[in-house]
Amino acid sequence: MKVLTEYINIWADHAFWFQMFCVAVLTVMSLESISKKHRALLKAALEVLLLILIFFTTNFLIYLLSIKHIYFTGVGSWMSYLFGVVLFAAFFCKYPVPAKIVTASAVCSMSVIVIELGTSIGNVIEGYVNGFDSLWTKIIADFLILFAAWTIKKRPVSEYEVSTYAARLNVTCCTISTAFVIIYDFLAIYFLTPQKTDVTSVRILISLILIALYVINAINYLMTYSLCREQKHVLELMSEAQFTQSAAQLLTISDHNLNELRKISHNINNQYSYMRVLLQNQDYDGLKGYFDEVLGTFSKPFISYIDCGNRILNAIFNLEKAKADEAGVKMDFMILVPSELSVSELDLCNLITNIVDNAIENCLAERIESPVVSITMSVQGDYLFARFTNQTKKKKSFLEKPIVSTKKDHVYHGKGIGIAKHIVHKYNGHYSNKIEDGVFIAEFLLDLCIGKNKEGNS
């Protein structure tokens, strides 16, 4: 109990509690999707209180360790914040992993930088102004944490697909910034004393460096946000272009089928006229022979049509089958879906056509003998599941590096997988590629509830 009392006395200043509150608010606002509903606001408030409790408890445990081990002296604040933020991101944040990593890294680095910045500037001013209380610089610096919370909340990267490279870049930048603060903390405890160096000059330099690191981390996050938003815009434009191209191809195929039907109608009329003449002449043997001959021409259908009960999927699959037939690729379908799906026509068309087009192109590029592209699609609960397979000569290692188009105009091609992943991310789903026993497998899962919400908001 005595140790607890000493701990509370040491950390009894208002800046300590205000700082924990600011970091908790930054964590919740950045890593939680908060709506304006009363229940959501109450949940957010409870999460802030929980984080403050975690920060305080962790800090207290580190203080107990510092009594016996000097290496834990002065590191309680930033260690408790890092632990609390990582814990919250792991168990409470529902963002996709790359977006979660980018956001959590920004929260950790900015929190650690600001708490050290307030202390450093306060110590500098205390060296020049007698009686100055660094409490005020700590509180003022903490407003930078609230500013970071507002910035991340207004510009969340979780709304976009974050690449692995962007996540690595952010983690590297934030790690270097945090490591600098940690190293400075240890050096300040053991080496930064009036007997060994000019403390004020060093702290002025450190304060400037900390301000620069805060700005760099903020710019780093905003650049990642801007790049992700721009990538989404580019992919949407490419999706619209792909949709327009698919619609044009479907119109061409429809016109071709219509011409075929006209030819069939013309031939049937001629056949009826000839059979009428045979019937009038009572040439029954000739009529029977001609009828058998005509019947044989219908043994193979003039037009192959896929009907799965869904108007949009019918159009998409018939378009892709026409492409496959022209390329000499066989297609197998196993489709079990309702007549209506809560996924936009544009998204569904772009998602399926990009995957199937890649499969057809792969079969042709590898000169697969008797190539087959198989498609399985069904609704499982609130999710739309689809599986696409085709033979391949590639090894599993092929998927370990970025897929680059082999076409001459590769700048405009080879984006199919990127568009597919972008659409899947839009519906809070999952997309995967794998190679098993000489078969390339692409699968996706879409949350149909997300689609219903989009329809309801439109």
pLDDT over 70, % of the chain: 76
Average pLDDT of the residues in 251-274: 62
Average pLDDT of span 125-132: 78
Q: Tell me the per-residue pLDDT of 338-373, one tens digit each, with 9 for 90 and over.
A: 988 888 887 888 889 889 988 998 999 999 888 999
Residue 422 CB neighbours (<10 A): 23
Least confident piece of the model among 25-34, 170-179, 302-311: 302-311
pLDDT above 50 for 405: no
Note whether 117 and 148 are within 8 A (CB).
no
pTM to 2 decimal places: 0.64
Q: What is the mean pLDDT of residues 287-292?
A: 72
**Mean pLDDT calculated for residue range 177-185:** 84
- More confident position, 54 or 200: 54
C-alpha 249/C-alpha 261 separation (Å) is: 18
Determine which of 90-94, 131-135, 300-304 has the lowest per-residue pLDDT on average.
Answer: 300-304
pLDDT at 304 over 70: no
Give me the chain's average pLDDT, please: 79
Residue in the block written with tokens 């009529």: 287
Per-residue pLDDT band for 421 (boundaries 50, 70, 90) equals: confident
* Mean pLDDT to the nearest integer, 275-294: 74
- Both tokens of 121, joined, read 């500037």
- Report pLDDT digits (tens) over 142-159: 899 999 999 999 999 988
pLDDT of residue 458: 46
Mean pLDDT, residues 160-175 taken together: 84
Most confidently predicted of 290-299, 310-319, 439-448? 439-448
In the three-class reduction of DSSP (H, G, I as helix; E, B as strand; rest coil), residue 109 is classed as helix
**What would the pLDDT profile of 248-262 be if each residue is shown by its tens digit?**
666 565 555 556 656
pLDDT of res. 1:
52
CA distance 260 to 257: 5
DSSP secondary structure letters along 432-450: EEEEETTEEEEEEEEEHHH
| pLDDT tier at 186, thresholds 50, 70, 90 | confident
Of 233, 242, 252, the closest CA to residue 318 belongs to: 252
Q: Which of 108-112, 240-244, 310-314, 321-325 has the lowest mean pLDDT?
A: 240-244
- CA 457 vs CA 37, 312, 382, 453: distances in Å: 16, 22, 19, 6
